[in-house]
Amino acid sequence: EAGVVQSPRYKIIEKKQPVAFWCNPISGHNTLYWYRQNLGQGPELLIRYENEEAVDDSQLPKDRFSAERLKGVDSTLKIQPAELGDSAVYLCASGPRGYEQYFGPGTRLTVT
């Protein structure tokens, strides 16, 4: 079974530029999560989708972050404009309707 796929794996941008991350979850997983992981910290949830509905976006900085999950499969997370403090690893995870979550390899974002 293929795991969660994310792209790109690395991204370096200048502050104030836009950036987008893409995630393809494990086939059949209804729930999709976007996390941000700062160096030396645990993942922190940005948004959780059940199919195409965002059911928890309370930690998403909506002034600059947006996300979508069209057709309840792939998802895109966007930052516009990026700030220096956005440098982190952005992790996508998916799970069946239930408890388990399986993570993708992440996108390491560096904002200069």
Partner 1 sequence: GENVEQHPSTLSVQEGDSAVIKCTYSDSASNYFPWYKQELGKRPQLIIDIRSNVGEKKDQRIAVTLNKTAKHFSLHITETQPEDSAVYFCAASRGYSTLTFGKGTMLLVSP
Residues that bind partner 1 (CB under 8 A): 4, 31, 40-45, 48, 56, 91, 97-106
Q: Could you tell me the smallest distance in angstroms from the CB atom of residue 43 to partner 1?
A: 5
The C-alpha atoms of residue 23 and residue 4 are separated, in whole angstroms, by 7
Residue with smaller CB distance to partner 1, 38 or 112: 38
Nearer to partner 1, 7 or 81 (CB): 7
Residue 69 C-beta: closest distance to partner 1, Å: 16
Contacts for 62 with CB less than 8 Å, ≥ 6 apart: none
